[in-house]
Structure 1
C-alpha cells in the first residue's frame, strides 16, 4: 500500500492483503491486543478507499516487505537460472528478449509466506520448481503461442509458501511443478 495515494482512491485486494499481513505481524510481535487486532482486521477487510485502509496501520512500523524487497532480472539473450541456496525476494521481475528462465525454489531461502513472480518473455519459456507443500497460482500469465501448466495446488494454505505468477509471454510457455523425486532423492 502506498502512503502517498489519495484518500479517495479505491484499494485493491492485494493492498488489503498486505495490510492484513502487516496487522497479523503486529499482533505476533505483541504490538496489538486481541480485541484491537479483531477491530482493525474488520476495518481493513471492509475498506474501499485508502482513506479507510491507511488508519488501520498508521501507528505501526513500516513493513520492510513494501520498501525494497523487489529484484529485477533482465537479459537480452541466454538463460536466467536460479537454484540451490538463493534468497528469494517478495517480488521477482524477470524480463528476457530471447531466452528461457528456470527458477528452482525447492532449496531457496524464502522469507515470505507469499511471493510474486512477474514474467516478461518475448521468446522463451519459464520453468518454476516449488518446494514441497507450496501452492501456486499462474492464472495471471498470458501467452500468445504456448501453454501455462501448473501442477501445484492453486489455493493458498496457511503456513505454506504461496507463489503468484503473472506476466506475458510471446512465444513460450510456463510450467510450475514441485521437485521430482527419484528413489527418495532430489534430482
Structure 2
C-alpha cells in the first residue's frame, strides 16, 4: 500500500482494504484483538475510503515491515490435542457458575466462562441458554442437568465436542440430533441429563463467533476475487472483439460525392 503519511487523501482500493483485513485476522488469531475489537476494526476497514482512514486501524499491530516487531516469535507450538488442551483447566477451577434458574424469565451462560463438572439448571415458564463455544471446561467430561417445566433450555456446543444425551421427556423431549458425532482428540465430552415436562432441552452445534466471522470474510474475499476475475474476462473479451472488428473512422463526404 502507498505510504499513508505521504498521501493520506489518496483513495484506497479493494486490495488495500483486504490487506488491512488480513492483518486484523492475524491479530485475532494471535489473541492481540478480541472479537469485539476485531469486528469494530473490520467494519472501519470496509468503510474506509482513503489511506488516511486505513492507517490508524492497524497502527498498533505488528505486520510486515513494521518496526517494533518482536525478533522472537511469540507463536507457541500447538500442544497435543490442539486448542482443547488450553481450554480444559482441570481441578484448579471449579467453574464460573454451577447453577441457573429461570422462573417466568430467562438465563444465559455464554462467552468466556468456565463450565463446571456439573451444571444444574431449572426453567419454569421460561428459558435458558448455555453456550459452550467460547467456554473453558473444568474437566474433560462435564454434566449439564437440565429440568424444563413448560419451558426450554438450549445448549450450544462447538464442533469437535462429543455430546451424550440421557434426559427423560414427559410430554416434552430432549434433542438427540447431535449424538453420535465423534469428538476431536483431546476435546471434552458433554453429557446432558434431566427432565423435560411440557418443555424441551435442545442441543445445537455451532461455530464460535470468531470462526464464523473469519468464514464470512473469506467468502467476501472470494466474492471480490470472482468479481475481479469476471472484470478481467470482460476486458479480455472486449479487447478480442476490438481486434477482430476494429472501429473504422467515418470519412466526411467529399463535395464531389454529391454530384
Check whether TM > 0.5.
yes
3-state SS, counterpart of residue 146 of structure 2: strand
Distance in 2 separating the partners of 1:145 and 1:128: 20
Task: Identify the residue that residue 74 of structure 1 maps to in structure 2.
Answer: 101
Give yes or no for contact 2:123–2:152 (8 Å, CA) kept in 1: no
Task: Identify the residue that residue 206 of structure 2 maps to in structure 1.
Answer: 179
Residue 185 (structure 2) pairs with residue 152 (structure 1): no
Residue 149 (structure 2) pairs with residue 122 (structure 1): yes
Q: Which has the larger radius of gyration?
A: 2
Q: 1:160 to 1:96 in 2, by over 3 A?
A: same
Deviation at 1:177, TM superposition (A): 1.9
Distance in 2 separating the partners of 1:183 and 1:99: 34
Deviation at 1:157, TM superposition (A): 5.9
Give yes or no for contact 2:91–2:138 (8 Å, CA) kept in 1: no
Task: Identify the residue that residue 132 of structure 1 maps to in structure 2.
Answer: 159
Task: Identify the residue that residue 169 of structure 2 maps to in structure 1.
Answer: 143
Give yes or no for contact 1:151–1:178 (8 Å, CA) kept in 2: no
Task: Please give the TM-score of this superposition, normalised by the length of structure 2.
Answer: 0.41
Task: Identify the residue that residue 168 of structure 1 maps to in structure 2.
Answer: 195
3-state SS, counterpart of residue 187 of structure 2: coil
Report Cα offsets for 1:128-154 as digits up to 9, x if no partner.
11122001111x211222332233243
Distance in 1 separating the partners of 2:164 and 2:157: 12
What's the C-alpha RMSD, in Å, of the aligned pairs?
2.7
Give yes or no for contact 2:108–2:130 (8 Å, CA) kept in 1: yes
Q: 1:153 to 1:76 in 2, by over 3 A?
A: closer
Give yes or no for contact 2:147–2:195 (8 Å, CA) kept in 1: yes
Give yes or no for contact 2:91–2:139 (8 Å, CA) kept in 1: no
3-state SS, counterpart of residue 184 of structure 1: helix
Distance in 1 separating the partners of 2:116 and 2:199: 24
Distance in 2 separating the partners of 1:149 and 1:97: 18
Give yes or no for contact 1:122–1:171 (8 Å, CA) kept in 2: yes
Give yes or no for contact 2:139–2:188 (8 Å, CA) kept in 1: yes
Task: Identify the residue that residue 138 of structure 2 maps to in structure 1.
Answer: 111
Distance in 2 separating the partners of 1:142 and 1:120: 10
More helix by share: 2
Task: Please give the TM-score of this superposition, normalised by the length of structure 1.
Answer: 0.56
For structure 1, the 5+ residue unaligned runs are: 1-62
